[in-house]
């Protein structure tokens, strides 16, 4: 079985683009349009990694991560924020709610893939600004 | 911004430039009329914070060079637009205007020509070069990976720049500075971009194209906001508002010019227009030291 990634973004175009890239590399993709739907999907499907936007209607990405971290099954799951917001203060908020990485849009597929690869399998990644904490303790997602 | 949005119109016959004054008023300027160059100097010496002087040829270019010299002594950054009669254009004032500090355009003024001259002379007052460059760079950073684009133009006072757009997305922002970004394009161009963004897609629905326009608007605004964040100006923005109508444009009650940019492909297969509106903004903030806590594009920040 392949591993499963939850993509939460209010833009269909972004979700479709990510789905195409991730499926090309063998992942199964679950989609949600906002944070609230993201929580439902996460509960329905035990996903291995979450990619979530920040600015979304109904429930934003930071609030969703905060809620998701309260679910014991998602306490250690890698969560990447994928957003257009580059401000350092917002990145701090992401860290506070329990995100593992902050990635800016537009993102190159290879860069994103390397980060996912590292999070799921602990492999070395490409250019980045620091080491992901607890990489070894992250769930591998291989089923 | 701290610019005084006042324009002094110099014309012996009140009303000759009535259309011009109306046009400027529409663009958000306070227009003051004086009948002569002498009266203009008197006014300027009392209130040197004007943005612009528009002088009709009828105001007399006799003594124009002395007038220019005095104006630039009192208000070095003040720009002047001179009206020219058909037989003008080679006098000393024209030579001075030809140096790029001012502009000389034939009378009767045509609205588009006047608007273009004002845009050229005053752009820096409203959208400092650093901001204008940030808007252009942001657009290229976001659109560049999809198609090969180049920036065409980049001027302000283009209220109907999005007139050729069938669909637009607007995102208002607030915080350290407020305003909105509007991104628009024709339906045909949106489809070209959509197919480039999602290769292999079979059918393209209008709401899906609209969604892409909104996402591009979101990403471009994010890059512009990153520029402000470097100067410790924090901006928050929400989600896009969609407008499905040709010729959409936005005006805030305060009426302030927008900065408009077009991005085109070399073969003009796709064209994207941006209208960036910035409300009052203290340009001194741009002098603040550059903060390092802004995430650059193409980098992953592990938390």
User: Which residues partner with A28 through β-bridges?
Assistant: A4
Contact at CB, A128 and B212, closer than 8 angstroms: no
Instruction: Choose among A12, A87, A106: nearest Cβ to B208.
Output: A12
Contacts of residue B200 in chain A, CB cutoff 8 Å? 20
pLDDT for the residue numbered B283: 75
Q: How far is CA B27 from CA B16, B56, B119, B281, in A?
A: 19, 20, 11, 18
The residues with which B23 forms a beta bridge, in sequence order, are none
- Contact call for B219 and A57, based on CB within 8 A: no
Nearest to A20 among B198, B226, B294 (CB): B198
What is the ipTM for the molecules in this complex? Answer: 0.81
Q: Do A133 and B201 touch (CB under 8 A)?
A: no
Using CB atoms, pick whichever of A91, A105, A129 lies closest to residue B222. Answer: A105
How buried is residue A46: exposed, middle or buried, by Cβ count under 10 Å (0-12/13-18/19+)? middle
Q: Quick check: B187 contacting A, CB < 8 Å? A: no
Helix (H) or strand (E) holding B150: strand B150-156
CB pair distance less than 8 Å for A104 and B299: yes
- The predicted structure's pLDDT at residue A83: 93
Between B145, B215, B301, which is nearest A13 by CB? B215
- CB contact (8 A) between residue B297 and residue A104: yes
Nearest CA to B227 out of B142, B299, B298, B135 is that of B135
Cα separation, B174 vs B279, whole angstroms: 10
Question: What are the helix (H) ranges across B52-106?
Answer: 64-74, 92-96
Q: What is the DSSP letter of B154?
A: E
Kindly state whether B218 is in contact with chain A, defined as any CB-CB distance less than 8 angstroms: yes
**B252 to chain A, closest Cα gap in Å:** 24
- Cβ separation B222–A83 shorter than 8 A: yes
Q: What's the pTM value of the predicted model, to 2 decimals?
A: 0.77
| Three-state DSSP string of B23-60 | HHHHCCCEEEEECCHHHHHHHHHHCCCCCEEEECHHHC
Residue A31 CA, distance from chain mean position:
11
What is the DSSP track for A77-132?
Answer: S-EEEEES--BHHHHHHHHHHT-SEEEESS--HHHHHHHHHHHHH----SS-SSPP
10-residue stretch averages of pLDDT, chain B, 303 residues long: 68 71 71 86 85 79 73 81 67 53 72 72 73 92 90 61 74 90 91 91 89 95 92 87 73 66 83 85 74 76 88
Contact A99/B295, CB-based, under 8 Å? no
User: Which has the closest alpha carbon to A62: A39, A42, A28?
Assistant: A39
Low-confidence ranges of chain A (pLDDT < 50): 125-143
Question: B165 touching A, CB under 8 A?
Answer: no
Whether the CB of B202 is below 8 Å from some CB of chain A: the reply is: no
Nearest CB among A13, A83, A103 relative to B197 is that of A13
Whether B301 sits inside 8 A of A115 (CB atoms) is no
């Amino acid at each position: 079985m392949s591993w499963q990634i939850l993509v939460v973004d209010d833009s269909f175009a972004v979700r479709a683009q990510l789905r195409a890239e991730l499926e090309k590399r063998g992942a199964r993709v679950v989609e949600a349009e906002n944070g609230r739907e993201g929580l439902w999907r996460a509960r329905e499907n035990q996903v291995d990694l979450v990619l979530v936007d920040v600015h979304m209607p109904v429930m934003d990405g930071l609030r969703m991560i905060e809620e998701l971290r309260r679910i014991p099954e998602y306490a250690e799951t890698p969560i990447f924020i994928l957003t257009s917001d580059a401000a350092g203060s917002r990145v701090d908020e992401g860290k506070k709610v329990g995100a593992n990485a902050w990635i800016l849009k537009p993102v190159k597929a290879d860069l994103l893939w390397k980060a996912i690869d590292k999070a799921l399998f602990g492999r070395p990644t490409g250019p980045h600004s620091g080491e992901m904490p607890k990489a070894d303790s992250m769930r591998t997602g291989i089923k | 911004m701290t610019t005084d949005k006042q324009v002094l119109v110099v014309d012996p016959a009140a009303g000759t430039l009535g259309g011009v004054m109306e046009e400027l008023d529409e663009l958000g300027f306070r227009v003051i009329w004086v009948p002569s160059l002498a009266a203009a100097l008197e006014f300027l010496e009392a209130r040197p914070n004007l943005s612009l002087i528009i002088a009709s040829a009828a105001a007399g270019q006799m003594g124009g060079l002395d007038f220019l010299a005095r104006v630039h002594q009192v208000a070095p950054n003040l720009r002047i637009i001179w009206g020219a009669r058909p037989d003008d254009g080679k006098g000393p004032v024209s030579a001075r205007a030809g140096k790029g500090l001012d502009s000389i355009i034939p009378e009767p003024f045509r609205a588009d020509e006047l608007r273009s001259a004002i845009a050229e002379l005053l752009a820096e007052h409203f959208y400092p070069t650093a901001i204008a460059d940030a808007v252009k760079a942001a657009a290229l950073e976001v659109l560049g990976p999809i198609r090969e684009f180049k920036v065409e133009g980049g001027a302000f006072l283009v209220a109907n720049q999005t007139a050729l757009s069938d669909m637009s997305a607007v995102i208002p922002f607030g915080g350290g500075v407020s305003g909105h970004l509007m991104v628009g394009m024709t339906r045909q161009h949106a489809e070209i971009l959509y197919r480039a963004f999602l290769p292999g897609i079979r059918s393209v629905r209008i709401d899906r194209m609209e969604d892409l326009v909104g996402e591009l608007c979101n990403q471009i605004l994010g890059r512009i906001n990153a520029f402000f964040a470097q100067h410790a100006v924090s901006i928050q923005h929400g989600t896009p508002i969609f407008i499905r109508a040709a010729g959409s444009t936005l005006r805030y009650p305060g009426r302030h010019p927008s900065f408009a940019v077009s991005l085109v492909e070399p073969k003009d297969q796709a064209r994207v227009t941006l209208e960036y509106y910035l409300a009052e903004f203290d340009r001194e903030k741009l002098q603040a030291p550059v903060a390092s806590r802004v995430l650059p594009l193409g980098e992953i920040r592990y938390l």
